[in-house]
Chain A
Amino acid sequence: MAGADGDDSLYPIAVLIDELRNEDVQLRLNSIKKLSTIALALGVERTRTELLPFLTDTIYDEDEVLLALAEQLGNFTMLVGGPEYVHCLLPPLESLATVEETVVRDKAVESLRKISQEHSPVDLEVHFEPLVKRLASGDWFTSRTSACGLFSVCYPRVSSTVKAEIRQHFRTLCSDDTPMVRRAAASKLGEFAKVLELDYVKSDIISLFTALASDEQDSVRLLAVEACVSIATLLPQEDLESLVMPTLRQAAEDKSWRVRYMVADKFSELQKAVGPEITKNDLVPAFQNLLKDCEAEVRAAAANKVKEFCENLPEDNREQIIMTHILPCVKELVSDTNQHVKSALASVIMGLSTILGKDNTIEHLLPLFLAQLKDECPEVRLNIISNLDCVNEVIGIRQLSQSLLPAIVELAEDAKWRVRLAIIEYMPLLAGQLGVEFFDEKLNTLCMAWLIDHVYAIREAATCNLMKLVEKFGAEWAQNTIVPKVLGMANDPNYLHRMTTLFCINALSEACGQDITTKQMLPVVLKMSNDQVANVRFNVAKSLQKIGPVLDSNALQTEVKPVLEKLATDTDMDVKYFAQEAISVLVLA
C-alpha cells in the first residue's frame, strides 16, 4: 500500500468533502457522479470510516444529487473492500430509501437489491434483513414503500425463522393504512410469490391477493391483476379454479374501467398462465365482454390483443372459437365509434389471416380489411397498410390492390404532413409487393409529387424514398423513370424545387452508379453553379462533395475542380465556405 499511502496524503478528506458540498449544485452533482474516483483516492479503509459516514450524515441534498448518490452506491462494493464489507453501504442507502422523491427511492432500492446479492447469508441476516424490517415499520409511507421491493431479494437466503418474519411484514404492508404502500405491496406481490415455497403461496399469497384485488381503491386492485399472472403461473393447474379464478373473474367485470383495462392489457399473459382449459371456459367469454366494454379505453386494449389471444388458443378448436366467438366482436369493432379502438384493431387484424388460412381470410377478413382501408381515420388506414405483408403471405396483395390504391392516394394527399410522411415510409415496401408495373402505372406520380410538397420533411422523405426505390428496381429503371423528372426540376422557377434536384442527386448518385451520375447528373449540377440564389449555389458545392467519390478522377479534375474553384471565390460567404470544404474533402487543392 506504500504507493497508495503517498497518494492519500495528497488528498486530505476535507478537500474531497468540500467538493461534495460545493455550493453550486452542478459542481456537487459532478463530484457525486465521480464518487468512485474519490473513494479510490481515499482507499478502502478511509472510504469505510470517513467517506461513508459523511455521506450518511449529509443526505439532505437536492434530489438530483441524491439520485446520483443512490446509483453510485450500488456499484461500490469493491471500493469499500469487497463483499465482506459490503454492509457498510447499507446506512446511506437506508436513508436514501426513505426520502420523498420517488426516483431517488426507487434507485436506492435498486442499489440495495443489487448489493443484497453480494452479502453472505450471515451478513444478510445480521445486517440486511434488520434494515428491511426497519423500513417496513417506518413512520412515513416512503420507507414502507421501499421495503416492499426488498423482501423478495433476501427471502430465499435466510433461515426459516427469519423467513416467517419476512412473510409477516409483507402481510402487514399489504393491509397498510395508506394506499401508496398497498400499491407498492401489490406491485411486488407477484415477485414475492415467486420466491415463496408453494405451500406459503397457497396459504399466504392467495389471501393477500384476494384482499388486494378487492381493495377500496381501483389503483390497488389493478395492480393485483398483474400479480395474478405470476401467481397463476406458480400454482398447479388443479388449484387455479378455486384459488385464482374467482378473483380474476371479478377483476374482468370490475366496476372501474381501469381494472378492466388492466385485465385486457394483460390478457395474453393471463391466458398463458391459466392454460387452455380455463381459457376455453372462462377467458373466451371474458374477452368477448372486454371487446364489447362500454369504455373505449378497454375496448382498445382488448382489440390490441385480438391476434395474440387467437394465436394462443388451443389448436384443436381454435378456428371454431375464433369464427363463432371472436370474429363477430371483431366485426363490430371495425365500425366502432372510437377511432383509437378501430386503429388498435387495424394494427393487429391482418395477423388473423395467417391463423385462419386462405379461404376464411377471403370470405370473412377481406371485407373487414377493405372496410378499414376506407375508414375516415387516417391512422386506421395506415395501420392496415403497414401490415400488408401478413396478408400478402396468405392471399397475395392483388386481392386488395383495387381498394388499396384509393386509400394510398388519399393518404398521400392528407392534410396532415405526418400522415403523408408515414405513407411515404411504406412506399418501398408497397412497391416491392405490388411490383414494378403496378408501381409505374399508379404510384410513380405520387412519389414525384411529394418532391414538391410544401413541407420540407416530406420533400426530404420523398428523396430518401426514391433512393430506396432505385435500390429495389435498379439503375436502369431509375434512368428511364425517375432521373429525367428529377433533373427537369433543375429549371423550376422555385429555388426550393431546384434544391430538391440537388438533394435527389445526393441520394441517388450512389445507387445509380458512375455512368448515370457522370453523364446525366453532373452536367446539371455544374450548370446550377450559376444559379441566382446563393442557397442553390452552396448546395451545388455540397452536392459535388457528395457525388465526388462516385465520379472518376478525370471528371473531377476537368469538370468539378474549376467549378468549385469558381464557387470558392463567390461573393456569398456560405458558398465560399462549402466550396472550400468540398475542395479539401475531394483533395482537389
Chain B
Amino acid sequence: SSASAPFSVPSAEKVDGFPRRSMRRARQRRSHSSSQFRYQSSQVELTPLPLLKDAPVAELHDLFCKKLQQCCVLFDFLDCVADLKGKEIKRAALNELVESVATSRGVLIEPLYPEAIKMISVNIFRTLPPSENPEFDPEEDEPTLEASWPHLQLVYEFFLRFLESPDFQPSMAKRYVDQKFVLQLLELFDSEDPREREYLKTILHRVYGKLLGLRAYIRKQINNIFLRFIYETEHFNGVAELLEILGSIINGFALPLKAEHKQFLVRVLIPLHTAKSLSIFHAQLAYCVVQFMEKDATVTEYIIRGLLKYWPKTCTQKEVMFLGEIEEILDVIEPSQFIRVQEPLFKQIAACISSPHFQVAERALYFWNNEYILSLIEENCQVILPLVFATLYRVSKEHWNQTIVSLIYNVLKTFMEMNSKLFDDLTASYKVEKQKELKRDRERADLWRGLEEHQDRRMQMLTEAARNQRNLQERGERGDPPSPSSPQTSHSDQPELKPSGASSSSSGGGESAT
C-alpha cells in the first residue's frame, strides 16, 4: 500500500503495513473461546464416579449413562486455572468412555444412543467464534486453536469410536443422527483448528458410509456450503477436507452418472477453481475432477472447457496450478476426447507459453516432456502445430528467460521431426500471416472509427429531431402560458442517450418522419 494512503486501517496490526512475522506469530498463538460457554446456566460441581471397569455388569449401562451426562458439563478453557478439578474429572470420564466403547463389546445398547448423541452435540456444536485475524491466510498464518481441545478431542474420539464400534447399529443411530445433526456437523468444518477438521473429516466419512439415508442430504448440504463459498463469502476453512471426502464418494458413484452428479461437477467443482484460496485445496479438487473423468470419459469436455472459462487472468501462481491440473487430466484423457478439446486447449497453452512469467511458460512447455501428451500431440500435429507455431516462433526470439528460450527450441525441434513439411510451410507463411493480422487490426480500427462517427452524426440527428419536435409542439401550444421549464433551458446541447419517457417517444417519431 502506498505511503500516502489515508489512515483508515481499522486494526493496529495493519497500521504498519508490513508487520513483522515474529510479532504476528506470537499473537496468533492465542486460542479461542467457544461462545457456547456463556449459555450454560449455572456451573455444576462434578464428583468422580466409580470406574467403568470396576462396575458390576448389571450397573455398567447405568454408570455409562451417568458418565455421559457428566460429560455434558462445559468448562471455561480460556481461564486455564478455573475449575481444574472439574476439568480433570470430565477428562477422565471421557477417556473411560472412549476406552470402553473401543474395547468392550455389548456396551452400546439402545437407551445409550440418545444420551451419547446428546453428549456429543452439547460439546461439539457451537457457533464458531470470529476469527482472531480477519485476514487469516491459511497458507501464511498460524491457525487459532480451539481452547477446549483437551475435552473436545476426547469427545470427537468417542464419537469416532462409537461410529466404528462393531456394536454400532445404523437403524438405531439414524433416529438421533438426523439431518439437523448433520447440518450442524458440516458447519463445524469451518473451524480454524486443523485438528478438529481432521476428526470431522473421518467422522463425516463414517456417517456417510453407515447412514445411507443421509447420503443425498449430506451431498446437497456440501453443495450449498461450496456455493456459498464460491459466490458469497469466499471463506470456509474446511473446503479441502470436504473435497477429500467427496473424492472417495465420487469413486463410489454408479454408472451411468446421475444428472445430479454431473451438475455437481459442472456447477460446483469447476467453479470452485475461481476461489482466491485455491492453493489450499487444489490438490483435493484436482483429484475429484480426475475421479470424475475416470468414471465417465464423456465429462472431459465439460471439465476442460470449464477450466478454460475460469482460466486465471492475473494470478500466475494459480495459472501454474491450472496447468498442473490440465496435465493430470491429459495424463488420463481418452484420445477421442482429446480431439474434442484440443483447439481451445492449445490456444490457451500457447497463451501460457508467451506469458512473461517464466514459471507459467515453463510449466506449459513441460507438457512436451510427458510422453503420453507428446503422443497425443503427434497424432494431431496437423491441428496443433498451426495453433502454437506463431507463438513458439515469436517467443523463441523475444523471451527474456534463457531457460524458456531453450525449452522452446526443443519443442520446435520436436515439431520439426514430427512433421517437417508442415513445419517448413508454417515457417514460410509466418511473415505473411503476421501481415494479415496487422491488416485485420487496421480494418477493425477503421470500422470502429466509422461506427463512432456515425454515432456522433446520429446522436446529433436525434437531438435535433427532438428539438424540432419540441419547437413544433411549442408553436402549436403558443397562447398557453409559458411552462416553467421551457425547452431551451431543459434541453442541453449535450446529446442524451436516454431522454425521459415522453421525449424519447417523440424523438422516435421525429426519426421516422425524416
Name A residues whose Cβ lies closer than 8 Å to a Cβ of B: 1-4, 7, 10-11, 15, 19, 23, 27, 34, 36-38, 40-41, 44, 62, 75, 77-79, 81-84, 100-102, 118, 140-141, 178-180, 183, 216, 218-219, 255-258, 294-297, 339-340, 343, 377-379, 382, 416-419, 421-422, 425, 455-457, 460
* Residues of chain B in range 231-249 having any CB-CB distance to chain A below 8 Å: 231-232
Given A83-B501, A179-B224, A419-B15, A38–B3 Cβ distance below 8 Å? no
On chain B, the residues within 8 Å of A255 by CB distance are 35-36, 39, 127
Contact B511 A1 (CB under 8 A): yes
Please name the residue on chain A nearest to B271 by beta carbon: A100
> How does the 8 Å CB contact mask read for B445-472 relative to A, with 1 for contact and 0 for none?
0011011101101110100000000000
CB-based contact B451/A4 at 8 Å: no
Q: How far is the CB of B163 from chain A (nearest CB, A)?
A: 23
Q: How far is the CA of A419 from the CA of B504 in the complex (A)?
A: 56
Q: Given A1-B514, A7-B454: A416 and B15 within 8 A (CB)? A: yes
Is A34 a contact partner of B15 (Cβ separation < 8 A)? Answer: no
Residue from A3, A79, A82, A183 with most neighbouring chain B CB atoms (10 Å): A82
On chain B, the residues within 8 Å of A23 by CB distance are: 347
Given contacts A62-B309, A83-B505, A379-B12, contact A40 B228 (CB under 8 A): no
**How far apart sit A378 and B11, CA to CA, in the bound complex (Å)?**
10
Asked if B33 lies at the interface with its beta carbon under 8 angstroms from chain A, I say yes
Q: A3-B461, A422-B7 are in contact. Are A180 and B130 (CB under 8 A)?
A: no
Which residues of chain B are within 8 angstroms of A343 by Cβ–Cβ distance?
Answer: 10, 12
Interface residues of B in 500-514 (CB under 8 A from A): 501, 504-505, 507-508, 511-512, 514
- Residue pair A40, B454 in contact (C-beta under 8 Å): yes
Contact B35 A295 (CB under 8 A): yes
Q: Are A180 and B228 in contact (CB under 8 A)?
A: yes
- The distance from the CB of A97 to the nearest CB of chain B, in whole angstroms, is 14
Contact, CB under 8 Å: A140 / B127: no
Q: Which residue of A lies closest to B230 (CB)?
A: A100
Whether B508 pairs with A219 at a CB distance below 8 angstroms is no
B400 close to chain A: CB less than 8 A: no
> Does A339 contact B12, Cβ atoms closer than 8 Å?
yes
The main secondary structure of chain B at its interface with chain A is helix
Knowing A100-B267, A416-B16, the reply to whether A180 touches B232 (Cβ < 8 A) is yes
Q: Are B514 and A379 in contact (CB under 8 A)?
A: no
What residues on B are CB-neighbors of A79 within 8 Å? 497
Q: In the assembled complex, how far is the CB of residue B302 from the closest CB belonging to chain A, in whole angstroms?
A: 13
Q: Does B37 contact A (CB under 8 A)?
A: yes
Task: Say whether B4 faces chain A, with CB atoms less than 8 Å apart.
Answer: yes
Q: Is the pair B505, A82 in contact by a Cβ cutoff of 8 Å?
A: yes
* B129 at interface by CB-CB < 8 Å: yes
- Give complex CA distance A509, B461 in Å: 54
> Chain B residues in contact with chain A, CB under 8 A?
3-4, 7, 9-12, 15-17, 33, 35-39, 127, 129-130, 180, 183, 224, 227-228, 231-232, 267, 271, 309, 347, 444, 447-448, 450-452, 454-455, 457-459, 461, 497-499, 501, 504-505, 507-508, 511-512, 514
Contact A216 B127 (CB under 8 A): no
| B35 close to A294 (CB less than 8 A) | yes
Interchain nearest-CB distance for B292 vs A (Å): 18
* Shortest 8 CB-CB contacts between residues of A and residues of B: A457-B3, A422-B7, A416-B16, A256-B127, A379-B12, A297-B130, A418-B15, A102-B231
Cβ–Cβ < 8 Å partners of A44 in chain B: 508, 511
Q: Tell me the minimal C-beta distance from A542 to chain B in angstroms.
A: 19
Known: A41-B455, A180-B228, A295-B129. A83 touches B3 (CB 8 A): no
Chain B positions within 8 Å of A11 at CB level: 447, 450-451, 454
- Specify which chain A residues have a CB less than 8 angstroms from the CB of B505 in the assembled complex: 82-84
30 contacts between A and B (CB under 8 A): A1-B514, A3-B461, A10-B454, A11-B450, A11-B454, A19-B447, A34-B448, A38-B451, A40-B458, A75-B498, A78-B507, A83-B501, A102-B231, A102-B232, A140-B267, A180-B227, A180-B231, A216-B183, A255-B35, A255-B36, A257-B129, A294-B33, A294-B35, A294-B38, A295-B35, A339-B11, A378-B15, A416-B12, A417-B16, A425-B7
Q: How far is the CB of B46 from chain A (nearest CB, A)?
A: 23
Q: Which residues of B contact A75 (CB under 8 A)?
A: 497-498
> Bound state CA distance, A4 and B455, in angstroms?
11
Bound CA span A180–B226, Å: 11
Complex-state Cα separation, A455 to B4, whole angstroms: 12
Q: How far is the CB of B111 from chain A (nearest CB, A)?
A: 28
Residues from chain A with Cβ under 8 Å of B129 in the complex:
257, 295
A379 and B501 CA atoms in complex are apart in Å by 53
A421 touches B35 (CB 8 A): no
From A183, which residue of chain B is reached at the shortest CB distance?
B232
Beta-carbon contact of A421 and B228 below 8 Å: no
Q: What's the least CB distance linking B306 to chain A, in Å?
A: 11
Closest to A294 in B: B38
A348 to chain B, nearest CB (A): 14
Alpha-carbon distance A294/B34, docked complex (angstroms): 10
- In the assembled complex, the CB of B392 is this many whole angstroms from the nearest CB of chain A, namely 19
Pick the contact of A10: B180, B450, B452 (CB < 8 A): B450
Is A4 touching B180 in the complex (CB atoms < 8 A)? no
Chain B residue with minimal CB distance to A253? B39
* Distance between A345 CB and nearest chain B CB, rounded to angstroms: 13
Name the one of B4, B127, B224, B455 contacting A40, with C-beta atoms under 8 angstroms: B455
Report B209 CB to chain A, min CB distance, Å.
25
Look across to chain A and name the residue whose beta carbon is closest to the beta carbon of B309.
A62
CA distance A377 to B11 in the complex (A): 10
Contacts of A101 in B (CB 8 A): 231
Q: Is the CB of B16 within 8 A of A418?
A: yes
* In contact, B512 and A1 (Cβ under 8 angstroms): yes
Inter-subunit contact B499/A78 (CB<8 Å): yes
Determine the residue in chain B with the shortest Cβ distance to A254: B127
Known: A3-B461, A255-B127, A457-B3. A82 touches B504 (CB 8 A): yes
Residue of A nearest to B308 (CB): A62
Task: Point out the residues of chain B lying under 8 angstroms from A15, CB to CB.
Answer: 447
State whether A377 touches B12 (Cβ < 8 A): yes
Find chain B residues with CB under 8 A from A36 CB: 455, 497
Specify the chain B residue showing the minimal Cβ separation from A7. B454
In the bound complex, do residue B35 and residue A257 qualify as a contact, i.e. CB atoms below 8 Å apart?
A: yes
Residue pair B451, A78 in contact (C-beta under 8 Å): no
Asked whether, in the complex, the Cβ of B514 is within 8 Å of the Cβ of A178, the reply is no
The answer to whether A180 touches B224, judged by C-beta atoms less than 8 angstroms apart, is yes
A422 to B461, CA, bound (A): 55
The distance in angstroms between the C-alpha atoms of A382 and B505, with both chains bound, is 58
Q: Please tell me if the beta carbons of B130 and A41 are within 8 angstroms of each other in the complex.
A: no
Given the contacts A100-B231, A218-B127, A219-B228, A78 and B4 also touching, CB distance less than 8 Å: no
The answer to whether B231 touches A379 (Cβ under 8 A) is: no
Chain A residues, Cβ within 8 Å of B459: 40
Q: Are B452's CB and A37's CB within 8 A?
A: yes
Look across to chain B and name the residue whose beta carbon is closest to the beta carbon of A11.
Answer: B451
Q: How far is the CA of A78 from the CA of B504 in the complex (A)?
A: 7
Given A11-B447, A34-B452, 19 additional A-B pairs, CB 8 A:
A4-B511, A11-B454, A19-B447, A44-B508, A78-B499, A79-B497, A83-B504, A101-B231, A140-B267, A178-B224, A179-B228, A339-B11, A382-B7, A418-B7, A418-B15, A418-B16, A422-B7, A457-B3, A460-B4
Which B residues are in CB contact (< 8 Å) with A179? Answer: 224, 228
